[in-house]
Amino acid sequence: MDIDLHIFEDDQELTEICKKYWGISEDDAFIFEMSEISFAHNISTYEIITLVKKYSIAYSRHIKCSSCNKPYYYNNRQDFSSQNNKQGWICPDCKKANEVSWMRQKKSQTRQRTTYQTL
């Protein structure tokens, strides 16, 4: 199983909904369809997604930030299904740090050129 799941609520039904939503088989297929979860808990698929996002976080055991090794957090099932596109993934914190570093470097280069040109 490629997913580690953290649930932030002790309520048994919410826990069950989150586990069913993120539950995958050994071949990385989702065990329950959304319609099955919806029927079993008498809630809409929209409510399922809202509850899952609010009360749980699912992250990858294998996809890590190439800079800091932070795990990749899945937004939803579709995100999990497209995980093959995540090689070389960089987390938002590292992207921002890289952008800030790049901007500082550009400013420094601009100042150096300006200084050189005025001489």
Q: What would the pLDDT profile of 16-65 be if each residue is shown by its tens digit?
A: 999 999 999 998 899 999 999 999 999 999 999 999 999 999 999 889 99
pTM (2 decimals)? 0.77
Q: b/e string for 69-86 if b means 16 or more Cβ within 10 A?
A: ebbbebeebeebeebeee
Nearest to 67 by CA among 92, 36, 47: 92
Per-residue pLDDT of 72-106, as tens digits, reads 999 999 988 887 667 788 999 999 887 877 777 77
The values of phi and psi at residue 73, to 5°, are -95, 125
Residue type, 96: K
